[in-house]
Structure 1
Amino acid sequence: MSHHEPHATTEPRTGAAMGMRGCVSASECRSDRPGHGLHAMQERLAATTASKWIDAILTGVDAHGFATVVDFHDGSVHRVWHHDAFDGALQAGEPVALHALYGVLARGTDRFSVAYA
């Protein structure tokens, strides 16, 4: 049996919001972590699992990228985060869809990767 060395401790990186550690700015970020860029496989999987979409209304988006959506069917509230605050593309009161499994927020043809907050 081989001997395993413990992992070295890492220094925490700063960031304005969760998942943003180490990112300088949204326009320069190339990460495909939840809430950053939408990975092609994430988009395909969300498109092929239609039963997991939640129809909702967007109740607000703050400057830090946190959005609140309310489910049309049961009124449950979901809070999600996106790296660049959805690039200003979303407005309160708009109908959206949230993919409960793959973390995708859709408005019309726009798709955003989101992290659940």
Structure 2
Amino acid sequence: MCLHEAGALCAEVGPGHDMHLIQRRIVAATPSRWIDAIAGAVDADGWLELRDLEGRALTRVWHHAPLASIVAPGEPVALHAGYHVLSAAGRWLNVRDERG
């Protein structure tokens, strides 16, 4: 259960919630694992569609904060291939990737 309140940090560190310090360090240490992408539509259930640079569907990701308020469709983003992190609007977000 996420204990997130407006303006408060989430108590969870699983995919889609807060990012653990160790996860942040591992992601920073593996820059070759980033995949460039373009933000697509945000579904009603909060999942953000990601497309590759040719416009093909790549995956969908979810974060407990509304992603529509962080990134707009058509904006460049990146997804870390190993540690379920989305880089968007100058932020790193721990996301749940539908691919697992």
Alignment TM class, shorter chain as reference: 0.7 to 0.9
1:23 matched to 2:21: no
* Rg (Cα) greater in structure: 1
- Cα distance in 1 for partners of 2:5, 2:37 equals 26
**Hey, what does 1:11 align to over in structure 2?**
none
- TM-align CA RMSD: 2.2
**Hey, what does 1:90 align to over in structure 2?**
71
Query: Which ranges in structure 1 are unaligned for 5 or more consecutive residues?
Result: 1-21
Equivalent residues in 2 for 1:69-80, closer than 5 Å: 69-72=50-53, 75-80=56-61
TM-score between both structures, scaled by the size of structure 2 = 0.80
Equivalent residues in 2 for 1:1-117, closer than 5 Å: 22-23=1-2, 25=4, 27=6, 29-72=10-53, 75-86=56-67, 88-117=69-98
Query: Which ranges in structure 2 are unaligned for 5 or more consecutive residues?
Result: none
Mean Cα displacement is larger for which, 75-84 or 51-60?
75-84
Amino acid aligned to 1:57:
I
- Cα distance in 2 for partners of 1:86, 1:108 equals 11
TM-score between both structures, scaled by the size of structure 1 = 0.70
Contact 1:86–1:112 (CA<8 Å) still a contact in 2?
no
- Cα distance in 2 for partners of 1:96, 1:90 equals 8
Partner deviation per Cα, 1:52-103 (whole Å, 9 max, x = no partner): 1000000122353211111226835111111122371111110000001001
- Cα distance in 1 for partners of 2:55, 2:35 equals 10
Residue 32 of structure 1, CA deviation = 0.4
Contact 2:3–2:11 (CA<8 Å) still a contact in 1?
no
**Runs of 4 or more off by more than 6 Å in structure 1?**
none
* Identity value in percent: 40
Contact 2:3–2:12 (CA<8 Å) still a contact in 1?
no
State the number of aligned residues.
96
Give secondary structure in 1 for the equivalent of 2:73.
coil
